């Protein structure tokens, strides 16, 4: 299956994507339920139209825990990082006002 992807699918994706760079960072957020954070996520995506934010609740703990992924694409890697960083700061500030604790999980391009 990997060979099929490498030989057929990956070249198609590369042709469609062109020179676009994908950049994503992930953070862990504790202490704010997803239902309370949802309006903040909507606001961040509205204020940062090139950034997509997705949340994944982690229900195994008594304290609400979410994993947030912020991503964008751009032809300029520096611009992609700036876009995500701006959105990350905004959502972090909003979550901290609600008593949330943040930890960076990973950043990748």
pLDDT of residue 109: 56
Q: Which domains does the chain have, with CATH numbers?
A: 19-108 (3.30.70.1130)
Helix (H) or strand (E) segment spanning residue 71 = strand 65-74
Q: What is the pTM of this model?
A: 0.79
Angstrom distances, CA of residue 78 to CA of 15, 19, 40, 53, 71: 22, 14, 25, 19, 13
8 A C-beta contact, residue 77 and residue 21: yes
Q: Is 56 helix (H, G, I), strand (E, B) or coil?
A: strand
How far is residue 94's CA from residue 98's CA, in Å, rounded to a whole number? 7
Per residue in 36-64, pLDDT tens? 999 999 999 999 999 999 998 886 667 78
How far is residue 32's CA from residue 99's CA, in Å, rounded to a whole number? 7
pLDDT of residue 40: 92
Mark the ranges of the chain whose per-residue pLDDT is less than 70.
Answer: 59-61, 106-109
pLDDT of residue 1: 85
Query: CA Rg, the chain, in Å?
Result: 16
């Amino acid at each position: 299956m990997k060979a099929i992807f490498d030989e057929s699918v990956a070249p198609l994706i590369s042709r469609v994507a062109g020179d676009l760079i994908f950049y994503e960072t992930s953070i862990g957020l504790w202490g704010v339920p997803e239902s309370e954070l949802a309006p903040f996520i909507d606001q961040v995506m509205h204020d940062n139209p090139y950034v997509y934010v997705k949340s994944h609740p982690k229900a195994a703990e008594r304290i609400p825990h979410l994993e947030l992924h912020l991503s964008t694409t751009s032809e300029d890697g520096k611009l992609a990082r700036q876009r995500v960083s701006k959105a990350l700061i905004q959502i972090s500030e909003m979550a901290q006002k609600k008593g949330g604790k943040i930890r960076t999980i990973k950043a990748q391009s």
